[in-house]
Structure 1
Amino acid sequence: MSATTTSPRISPVNPALATPTDLSSEGVAAIADQLRDLLADVFALYVKTKNFHWHMSGPHFRDSHLLLDEHSDQIFAMTDELAERARKIGGTTLRSIGDIARHQRLRDNDKEFVEPRTMLAELASDNQELTRSLRAAHAVCDEHQDVATTSLIENWIDETERRTWFLSEIAGPR
């Protein structure tokens, strides 16, 4: 589903999980849908960043290894905030690795070996794609007057743009 589609693909929340909110039920569904997809992408990016961190090699190993560790910590920190935000407004979130796989838009990299420069360029591209998804989710939240989620997203956009900048500078010319 594209970020501009207004009809959510999720079912109503089980009454036992309902959370009071002044957002419309349509808004909750649309926002929770966006947050679920973002969370799946963030988990995928986290695992890929850790994968590349663990499998980094080459003359700039130490600097790249430490940078990717820092980035993975920052990315992982987003997960709880994304999931809890969906719950705070009365939505639900991901439930399993399979659920992540069904919702993620960022591609995995299962190659046995990836050149260090390719790793960094791929992560730069993935972070840039995440920024686009964050902007699309921001638009949905703004449409439904969810100021708190838009505020969180604005901070994540800034962090993601910073990661893109660092990674693209290190990866070199495109």
Structure 2
Amino acid sequence: MSRKRPPAGERTSRCGCPRYGSFAAPNTMPEGPEKSILGERQRRWLRETIEQSDATFRVVVSPLIFVGPDQGRKGDNHANDAFCWEGQLLREFFADNDVVVIGGDRHWQYVSVDPDTGVWEFSCGALADGREGGWDPDDVHPAHRFLAVKPGFVWAEVDREDDEPILTIEHRSRTGNVHHR
């Protein structure tokens, strides 16, 4: 995937890193505004950071996934029912702010586009040979734009073409060969 945007000054990125885990509500908690993986403080930080950003491209890199799909039995992300209220809230916010998501901690590679919001998510697989799996490669969902059950990583790069910034995101093999662009 490559994206072009009009030049917006010299700044093309901004980094920040929310911490997950210690703020997560129990999976058994009833679904709703009080149930959160991020917690209100981190969710507010994420929203404010993105809203105040003058970056040309807004990319959230997270160990969590927001679009999926994921295995139905999993309850540790925003793509499944366990945290669906917060997931929908974040996907809508990402869509309103032109955010692309790079997710991890899946053992397969995919690109998905959320059918409700249009948010793009790129997820990486396991890096080590023999650790890929957990998804049937023939189980392609309508949201999938790319699916591969093999080891690898996501590579993102900002470059310029005709003096316009371009964001390129690729899935690569563990040795760096491009699987998907």
Q: TM-score normalised to the size of structure 2?
A: 0.28
Higher helix share: 1
> Between Structure 1 and Structure 2, which shows a larger proportion of strand residues?
2
Higher RCO (CA-CA < 8 Å; seq separation 6+)? 1
Q: TM-score when scaled to structure 1?
A: 0.29
